[in-house]
Copies of this chain bind each other. A is one copy, B any other.
Amino acid sequence: MPDLDAAGDFLYELMAPLEDMMLLEAALIQLFIIFVLARIFAEIFTRVGMLGQIGEILAGILLANLMIGDWTLASGLMIEFDPHEPSVYHEIFEVIANLGVIFLLFFVGLETKVSELRAVGKPSTAVATLGAILPFILGFMVIYVYEVHIVPHPDWFDHALFMSAAMVATCIGITARVLTELNVMDTIESKIIIGAAVVDDIIAMIILAVVVAVAGATAGAGGINIADLVLSVALAVGFVLFILFFCAYCLPLLRHNHRCRLAEKGVVCDEKEWSLKIDPFPLAIIVCLGLSAMALSLGLAAIIGAFLAGMLFAEYAQEELVPKIKALNGFLVPFFFVYVGMRVELDGFAPLIPLTIVVIFLAIAGKYIAGIIGVMGTDKSLGYHSGEIVGAGMSPRGEVGIIIAAIGLTAGAISREMYSIVVFMSIFTAMIAPSWLARSFKKKYTQDVTESAD
């Protein structure tokens, strides 16, 4: 017969692994439920012709805001972040969601070739630059007016910074899909849009770097330390420019030398081919995780590192990496969009609806005006309708804007309300863009037909 001490020891032995087992079991069940919900909503949204990601965000909003009795599903799953009782499951979920956004931005970078940047003409550059400046100014102004004059808030400056930064980045995914469906990919307007979107991504990353640096410096001791600020901004911009420079000059040079050495050995290889002996996929993961961690350590956002890591591979291993990173993202990214939705707070959002409408209007207006001025100002042969097409094509905001707002939220630089506004702005611009784009294409090209018929 076992005595009581032994029974106690035995029970301890029994419970310790049980708790361990339960970690995995609970984590699996949570990840399963989140993934299933995300996919169901994504599937429904895709079938009615909208972006699957919007469905995933909505799944997250429901998880965290739909009350079942006194509980939301998120709190039942122990994934809702509660500062007083943080749960390990929330932290696991947060890390997986963040891995998702890191590889998502790696993917965006992977589709941004520095060599194509040079080929992008004047209109694209003008549209991208204006399309960054105008929404930034409009976003800053609206928060200034609202939080200084209407509902005063002491942190209006940080709010305005992140809000306006979140209004900059175009989500090219939606536009590219619509252009493909309309079969107009080889029109001049489509080329301007695609080119502008590439420049736009890089500008957004630089703006994000600066905004994080400024917010970090102002958060210091209640006042702005100019030296810190300058240092942070210089560091941020330096990091981005260094990688851009590396992509544009050092990488081709290294490749050229490597190819020359191979040629000496009698090995002939295509200029665009990945001729290193190392499998690019694990190397890409290493560079992506490494630059993301480095960006964080420098006080930048992790996604800036991930985006730049993607750019490093865009030129030489794009074809090999795209399907693999897509597969990885197929698993990780839905967790990120659910995480995005979970942080939206519907409770008490009603009074903010007018502000949200103004923000959405300005977000669209900024890109619209940038499109018209950018196109008509640089290419006299293109008319107002071409400008409208480009403006419509640049208007949807997507993951990058939301990510910028999420970084602001995590850093405490914007409130949950401001964050929710950005999420809704992204959702609505993404929903409006496809039909607007299709209509403006029709206007232009039926008119062209009429004109040439005259």
Contacts and interface: CB of A to CB of B under 8 A. Distances in A.
Interface of A: 2, 7, 10, 13-14, 16-17, 20-21, 23-25, 27-29, 31-32, 35-36, 39, 43, 83, 88, 91-92, 94-96, 98-99, 102, 219, 222, 278, 281-282, 285-286, 289-290, 292-293, 296-297, 302, 323-328, 330-331, 334, 410-412
A297 B412 CA distance: 39
A31 B410 contact: no
Nearest to A325: B327
B293 A29 contact: yes
A324 B326 CA distance: 8
Given A88-B88, A94-B24, A293-B28, A14 B412 contact: yes
A23 B95 contact: yes
9 contacts: A7-B222, A25-B293, A25-B296, A28-B98, A28-B302, A29-B293, A31-B289, A281-B330, A324-B330
A106 to B, nearest CB: 11
A296 B302 CA distance: 35
Contact of A330 (B36, B219, B285, B302): B285
Number of copies: 2
A39 B287 CA distance: 12
Contacts of A92: 91-92, 95
Contacts of A99: 31
A408 to B, nearest CB: 10
Contact of A296 (B21, B290, B330): B21
A331 to B, nearest CB: 5
A94 B327 contact: no
Contacts of A281: 327, 330
A296 to B, nearest CB: 4
Secondary structure of the A side of the interface?
A: helix
Contacts of A10: 222
A98 B328 CA distance: 16
Contacts of A290: 32, 36
Query: 3 closest A-B pairs (Cβ-Cβ)?
Result: A324-B327, A327-B327, A32-B289
A17 B83 CA distance: 10
B296 A24 contact: yes
Given A21-B411, A324-B330, 17 more contacts: A7-B222, A10-B222, A14-B412, A16-B83, A17-B410, A21-B296, A21-B410, A23-B91, A28-B98, A28-B289, A31-B289, A35-B285, A35-B286, A36-B290, A91-B91, A285-B330, A328-B330
Contacts of A334: 282
A83 B9 CA distance: 14
A330 B321 CA distance: 12
Given A2-B222, A327-B327, A330-B282, A94 B28 contact: no
B297 A25 contact: yes
Contacts of A302: 24-25, 28
Contacts of A24: 94-95, 98, 296, 302
A347 B26 CA distance: 33
B328 A331 contact: yes
B25 A278 contact: no
Nearest to A286: B36
A155 to B, nearest CB: 9
Contacts of A222: 2, 7, 10
A49 to B, nearest CB: 15
Contacts of A7: 222
A278 B36 CA distance: 13
Nearest to A16: B83
Contacts of A43: 278
Contact of A39 (B94, B282, B331): B282
A171 to B, nearest CB: 21
Contacts of A327: 281, 323-328
